[in-house]
């Protein structure tokens, strides 16, 4: 009797798991901004272990529209291995993004023009021009499976056969906040390592140069110098941020506010 009960339970669990997988497969559009973090590895000659972590920290209102706040944390893995502060506060940055889910487009708020600018357009069809870099044309639309999710992949190609890969719900395969970054080959180390939705990893490329989703999270969790509070303090102290106040673009740096011409606002 116990054997049959166990078989029934396993069958039920398997059925629920398959239903969950089917949901991932059948989803018409996987939104980019439902995710909470993106970890991207970029190979630099001067700084060969440069990792960007983009974190979805919540919402803010600009004008009458709600935007997602995306903050970048720059991590030097080599410095972490030397047991020094791995955060580079001068490379931190903040973006304000808006996603039009019905039209499969993602925009960022351009503070200079006080208007939205296109970041991604997943409604494009083969033959359409890349919206950010007109030298690339959409040449292929395919599907890829990763972590139980099937996603549309858009491939853009230029006249030199360089390619840009957009993945629905993930962004550019190189760097989420760089929609025109091209990938030279499948072994190119410049790529997104992983993407999370809450605690769930929804996209994982397995890492590169011993840099993985887990290793970066360990740096953020275990190194006191890279704790969340310290990261934010460093960003606030060293990184200027554009804000809109009473229709005027202002720059905040630390506890002071300035106009675009450099005059302090009391």
Are the C-beta atoms of residues 91 and 72 closer than 8 Å to each other? yes
Higher local confidence (pLDDT), 14 or 137 = 137
The most confident of the ranges 15-29, 178-192, 235-249 is 178-192
pLDDT at 156 over 50: yes
Predicted confidence at residue 253, as pLDDT, reads 64
* CA atoms of 70 and 196, how far apart (whole Å): 14
251 phi, psi to nearest 5 deg: -115, 125
Express each pLDDT in 107-137 by its tens digit. Answer: 999 988 889 999 999 999 999 999 999 999 9
Measured CA to CA, the distance from residue 99 to residue 118 in angstroms comes to: 10
Task: Look at residue 19 and tell me whether its pLDDT is greater than 50.
Answer: no
In whole angstroms, what is the distance from residue 46 CA to residue 147 CA? 33
- Answer left, alpha or beta for residue 89, where phi above 0 means left and psi between -120 and 50 means alpha: alpha
Q: Give me the pLDDT at residue 27, please.
A: 54
pLDDT classification of 28: cutoffs 50, 70, 90:
confident
Q: What is the mean pLDDT of the chain?
A: 78
DSSP code at position 174: S
């Amino acid at each position: 009797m116990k054997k049959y009960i166990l078989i029934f339970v396993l069958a039920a669990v398997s059925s629920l798991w398959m239903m969950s997988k089917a949901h991932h497969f059948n989803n018409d559009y996987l939104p980019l901004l439902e995710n909470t973090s993106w970890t991207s590895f970029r190979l630099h000659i001067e700084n060969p272990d440069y990792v960007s972590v983009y974190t979805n920290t919540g919402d803010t209102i600009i004008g009458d529209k709600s935007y997602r706040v995306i903050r970048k944390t720059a991590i030097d893995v080599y410095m972490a291995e030397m047991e020094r502060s791995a955060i580079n506060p001068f490379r931190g940055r903040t973006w304000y993004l808006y996603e039009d889910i019905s039209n499969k487009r993602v925009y960022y708020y351009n503070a200079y023009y006080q208007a939205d600018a296109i970041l991604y357009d997943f409604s494009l069809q083969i033959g359409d021009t890349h919206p950010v870099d007109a030298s690339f044309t959409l040449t292929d639309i395919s599907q890829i499976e990763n972590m139980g999710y099937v996603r549309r992949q858009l491939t853009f190609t230029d006249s030199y056969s360089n390619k840009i890969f957009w993945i629905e719900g993930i962004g550019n395969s190189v760097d989420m906040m760089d929609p025109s970054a091209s990938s030279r080959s499948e072994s190119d180390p410049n790529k997104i390592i992983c993407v999370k939705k809450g605690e769930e990893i929804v996209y994982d490329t397995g890492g590169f140069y011993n840099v993985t989703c887990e290793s970066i999270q360990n740096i953020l969790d275990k190194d006191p110098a890279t704790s969340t509070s310290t990261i934010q303090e460093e960003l606030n102290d060293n990184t200027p941020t554009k804000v809109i106040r009473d229709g005027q673009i202002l720059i905040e740096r630390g506890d002071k506010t300035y106009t675009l011409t450099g005059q302090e606002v009391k």
